[in-house]
A = this chain, B = another copy of it.
Amino acid sequence: MIDLTGRDFLSSLDFTPEEVRGLLAFARDIKSGRVRPNLAGKVASLLFFNPSVRTRVSCESAMARFGGAGITLNPGKDTWNFECGEGVVMDQNTQEHVRELAPVLSRMGHLVGIRKSELITVGLDKAAVSSSYAELAKDEFLHRFAEFAEVPVINLESNRWHPLQGLADALTLQEKLGEPRGKKYVLTWTWHPKSLPVATPHSQLLAACDLGMDVTLLHPQGWGLEPEVVRRARARAESQGGRLSETHDSDAALKGAVVVCAKEWGSLDYYGRFEEEQRAKEPLRARWMVDATKMHSTDDALFLHCLPVRRNVVVSDAVLNSTRSAVIDEAENRLWTAAAVFGALAGG
């Protein structure tokens, strides 16, 4: 059984591809009932700065099924606001410093999970970006918290990464494909009325690369992912006997694909200029939804999406309702991979 006791899980880059595979094996064993993660009497404090269904329920359920408990906090709603700057005179709107919050939550439980994502759009027509992407991608609160925490910290989605989603995708790929190595995987951008964060596609891309797949990142010009993330994902793919290419050509990308993972995300070029982006991407809407025609040009590909998904906007009913859609299994795997991560980090 994999032992990652005391380690943080802020991104899959925190682990070697071998450690990632170890976590996946542990998740499979938990799912099959062969082993139980040792979570009895253990507590995970879960800080949700953003709303959540799958992450919250999968994390709380993972703890509860094995005798532990998740305690969900909604900072700024049922608590106050947190400071992470150094040397700040805190006479304004922050009431607690991460230098206290992190060790205190560490003493109360055995694990801490944090979801903190500066959403790009609020509702359908408003941008809410407080800073540049380069600045936000530092995930300062998360890293500062981890620095001062005394127990493992798990990223439940930051501005840059959503590693639990990556793990769940990887588990699904293993289950459905047997050995994913060398098989063709496409991560395709899709149109969406809002400009969604890039954390999830970053972690999804990395997951397929960690499995040594033949990965294609497909998106319109101007909607690429963070170059440094792509560079590191490519290096991981190559280290595992796979590769990563990037294209705007949908036909070339889909041909021969055995997996199509759809994801909507906002442009980093237009970051914070939501109305401009909206106008620029309007012509893309019709061509970038995943529909049956697109799926027919693949090699009978499996369809993945992290959910929630806007039906007939991101992907058509026909694709989602087909037997090739694995989105429900993929979501279920959030539970088993969370249980594996919690168990491995909390010591068994």
Complex interface: chain B residues within 8 A of A54 (CB): 104, 108
Closest to A50 in B: B78
Contact call B52/A79, Cβ cutoff below 8 A: yes
Q: Mark A45-65, 1 if CB is under 8 A from B, else 0.
A: 100100111101110110011
User: Contacts A61-B43, A71-B64; is A53 near B96 (CB within 8 Å)?
Assistant: yes
Closest to A69 in B: B64
Contact call A80/B308, Cβ cutoff below 8 A: yes
Cross-interface CB contact of A100 among B41, B58, B328, cutoff 8 Å: B328
Q: Mark A250-264, 1 if CB is under 8 A from B, else 0.
A: 000000000000000
Cross-interface CB contact of A328 among B64, B104, B312, cutoff 8 Å: B104
Contact call B107/A310, Cβ cutoff below 8 A: no
A320-346 at interface with B (beta carbon < 8 Å):
320-321, 327-328, 331-332, 334-335
Complex interface: chain B residues within 8 A of A58 (CB): 108
Contact call B101/A53, Cβ cutoff below 8 A: yes
Interface size on A, residues (CB 8 A): 66
Separation of A99 and B334 alpha carbons in the complex (Å):
18
Complex interface: chain B residues within 8 A of A104 (CB): 53-54, 307, 328, 331-332
Identify the stretch in A84-92, A158-166, A224-232, A234-242 within 8 Å (CB) of chain B at 4 or more residues: A84-92
Complex interface: chain B residues within 8 A of A130 (CB): none
